[in-house]
Amino acid sequence: MTEAFAPRVHTARASSWSKLFDCAYSWEGEHILGMRKAAGLRAHLGTSIHASTAAFDAGRLPGAEPISALDAADVFVDTLRNPDRDVDFKQDGLSVDDAERIGLSLHAMYCSEISPRFAFHSVEQQLTPLEIDCGGGQVVRLTGSMDRARVARHPDGVVIPDVKTGTRVIADGVAQTKGRSAQLGTYQLMYEHTEGVPTVGGQILALSTSSRPAAAVSRIWDAKRVMVGTEDQPGLIQIAAGMFRTGLFPPNPSSPLCSAKYCARWNTCHFKEED
């Protein structure tokens, strides 16, 4: 009689999926081994902007109680000054007052210039878990919400616009999409799994947190293409399945996030390249 073995299920947030393909070794440290580090103030600034813009967009949903840009700005200030997680306020050389000034400027740009261009029908939607059978008794369960993304109606179908903040999200006035397909492609797949309807692509709503705040909207592109692959080429899902099946999560010392500032595994990583 053959004994049946229960599969080993690894639970991961959908929004973390892009980091798996940036540096899988770092991702393993954080999401499998449970290593944590405090966020920097600039990252927390992004979290605060996401909170206020989401509050504003939620008020624009069909049947919702509208919220003014001014009232939604209060959400930004409250989130910024009262974090619900560990924040290293000295990490980025940015004062809280400067962060507030930058964030309020970006919040105003978003509410007046970007949000009105979209017809949203959900904001930060909770998604039905999606399980990926990696073989060898390993299963990855993607969970969570589109915690920085919205769902918008478009003449060609459903689009997933995702708010991105940072100092490099805009270059020469153009919202950058490079490196965004893993996360947005995961959102597309999970939304289709949840709602049973196809999506036509993802889109970046970029808010630059540099000393000169700026906003830009990217083109729409089919981010899930790189996730599912083709008959001739494997997609990122298949590559990820190999990592979980073998337990080998390759490092990427050339990653722009390979530093003590961003990686919880930095202090014990022997792959890092220090000056």
Residue bearing tokens 């020469």: 172
pLDDT band at 1 (very low <50, low <70, confident <90, very high): very low
Residue bearing tokens 């700005």: 73
Averaged over 52-80, what is the pLDDT? 96
Give the tokens for residue 3: 């004994």
In a domain? residue 271: no
**pTM for this predicted structure:** 0.89
Q: Does residue 120 register a pLDDT over 60?
A: yes
In a domain? residue 70: yes
In a domain? residue 67: yes
Query: Whose CA is closest to 16, among 144, 103, 105?
Result: 144
Q: What is the CATH number of the domain that holds 41?
A: 3.90.320
Structural domains of the chain, count? 1
Q: Structural domain of residue 249, as residue ranges?
A: 11-255
In a domain? residue 272: no
In a domain? residue 215: yes
In a domain? residue 20: yes
Averaged over 133-156, what is the pLDDT? 84
